[in-house]
């Protein structure tokens, strides 16, 4: 443990005898011990949150926004400590679009939730008659987060919920609890008691949170199978749901595209956070006319990208976060190579860096039916698939049960826009992939979930609409 992270880590960790060991993703050394909360701890936290919610709601939007802006200031003041905890626990490097980037995004999204205006909407007006939609607090929100962007996605759940007058119970992933504990510690320096609580611990905590009769809303980001279980768990209490689930995002490179000009954006669309991003580019369909140029350009970047331990300056891709995900990536790459895939870059573990490092990998000459194409790899490996007919590429891109994101790459914007309109995804980017804007709604279709986050849509998602007619 380095001195710069000691104070914040000390505030959120517990003695070894009372907690669960959390390893450094790169070295597997123990960073600290996370509290091992029980279902009883959760029950008590929900009782306190329900008591705290009415006075928190009574503060009004202006005061809640003021406090959230103070939280954003506090995040920025502690950004380096937060980034170091995140880098060690999750594995993403400090540099590049990674740990420091994620912490910065936490401040940005917190401010956005604080400052976005949500006015009553007039939906009918005739003479002196009028109908308006107002948005009230729901009550207590349960926020269940993932391990890939643990701080940023937690903020996506926490900040709008608090802004709208709800109290929040956060359940972080068991792989990355320390970074979320540290983030909540920062929030709670400016919030009343019991408005925001984090519960870490045994597996039953999350399922009880989803099924609890005193939880009014569940926000979950994670795998589609777990999302289905949350839907089942929430059936008895009819909690409202926002689910951002898995994605097997397709990209299509149209004929005539200058792929060298787009290569860096293509690469980061797939490899941000080492590919461990729900809305990352997971399969790339490339027209015959630019296929080899695309393969060559992405291979060059993959072979030269700074890669290694996240706390070492300059590295921009780190390890897989956990053993299970490492095994999935290795299996999918090995199967693709055995099926005739051409490994252009990477293709193997990199044990010289640590036990969970896998080389940034480009696999060409594969097609649908190969598991690396059909399944979400969630790691640093991109399959490139050749096509000759644009209609066929659209069909293959849409031939998935998931529909989180997609992208079209072309120097002809009109042609790209026409293809984008036909792709079945919650967000379709043109000449980029995965970029998010705190004012632009984000959410999936098909088995990638439902509900939208960010901006006005995100505030409405954690509120109860009320129609007033007069």
CA distance 433 to 253: 12
What are 356's two structure tokens? 């969970």
Helix axis angle, 99-115 relative to 150-163, nearest 10°?
A: 10
> How far is residue 166 from each of residues 53, 64, 189, 371, measured CA to CA in Å?
6, 11, 18, 42
Q: Which of these is catalytic: 74, 89, 102, 244?
A: 244
What are 262's two structure tokens? 């787009």
Other Cβ atoms less than 10 A from the Cβ of 10: the count is 10
Phi/psi at 66 (nearest 5 deg)?
A: -60, -45
Other Cβ atoms less than 10 A from the Cβ of 203: the count is 8
Q: Which of 25, 173, 180 is nearest to 91 (CA)?
A: 25
Note if 244 is an active site residue: yes
Which residues are annotated as catalytic?
244
């Amino acid at each position: 443990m380095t001195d710069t992270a000691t104070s914040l880590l000390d505030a959120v960790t517990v003695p070894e005898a009372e907690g669960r060991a959390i390893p450094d993703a790169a070295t597997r050394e123990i960073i600290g011990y996370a509290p091992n909360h029980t279902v009883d701890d959760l029950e008590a936290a929900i009782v306190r949150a329900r008591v705290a919610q009415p006075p928190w709601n009574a503060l009004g939007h202006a005061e809640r926004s003021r406090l959230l802006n103070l939280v954003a200031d506090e995040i920025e003041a502690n950004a380096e400590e937060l980034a170091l905890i995140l880098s060690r626990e999750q594995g993403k490097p400090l540099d590049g679009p990674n740990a420091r980037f994620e912490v910065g995004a936490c401040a940005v999204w917190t401010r956005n939730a604080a400052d976005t205006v949500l006015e009553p909407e007039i939906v009918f007006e005739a003479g002196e008659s009028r109908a308006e939609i107002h948005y009230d607090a729901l009550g207590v929100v349960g926020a269940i987060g993932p391990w890939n962007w643990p701080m940023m996605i937690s903020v996506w759940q926490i900040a709008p919920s608090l802004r709208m007058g709800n109290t929040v119970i956060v359940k972080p992933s068991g792989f990355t609890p320390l970074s979320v504990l540290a983030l909540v510690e920062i929030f709670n320096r400016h919030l009343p008691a019991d408005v925001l609580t984090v519960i870490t611990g045994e597996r039953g905590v999350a399922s009880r949170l989803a099924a609890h009769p005193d939880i009014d809303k569940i926000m979950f980001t994670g795998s589609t199978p777990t999302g289905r279980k949350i839907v089942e768990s929430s059936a008895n209490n009819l909690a409202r749901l926002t689910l951002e689930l898995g994605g097997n995002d397709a990209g299509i490179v149209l004929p005539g595209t200058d792929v060298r000009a787009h290569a860096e954006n293509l690469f980061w669309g797939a490899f941000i956070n080492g590919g461990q991003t729900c809305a990352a580019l997971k399969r790339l369909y490339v027209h015959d006319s630019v296929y080899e140029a695309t393969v060559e350009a992405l291979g060059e970047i993959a072979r030269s990208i700074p890669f290694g331990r996240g706390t070492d300056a300059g590295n921009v891709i780190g390890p897989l976060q956990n053993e299970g995900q490492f095994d999935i990536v290795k299996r999918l790459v090995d199967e693709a190579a055995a099926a005739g895939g051409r490994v252009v870059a990477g293709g193997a573990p990199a044990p010289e860096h640590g036990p969970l490092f896998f080389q940034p990998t480009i696999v060409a000459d594969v097609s649908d039916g190969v598991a690396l194409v059909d399944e979400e790899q969630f790691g640093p490996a991109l399959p490139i698939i050749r096509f000759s007919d644009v209609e066929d590429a659209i069909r293959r891109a849409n031939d998935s049960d998931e529909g989180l994101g997609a992208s079209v790459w072309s120097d002809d914007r009109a042609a790209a826009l026409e293809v984008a309109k036909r792709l079945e995804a919650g967000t379709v980017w043109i000449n980029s992939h995965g970029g998010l804007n705190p004012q632009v709604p984000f959410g999936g279709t098909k088995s990638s979930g439902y509900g939208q986050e960010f901006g006005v849509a995100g505030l409405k998602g954690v509120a109860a609409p009320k129609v007033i007619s007069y």
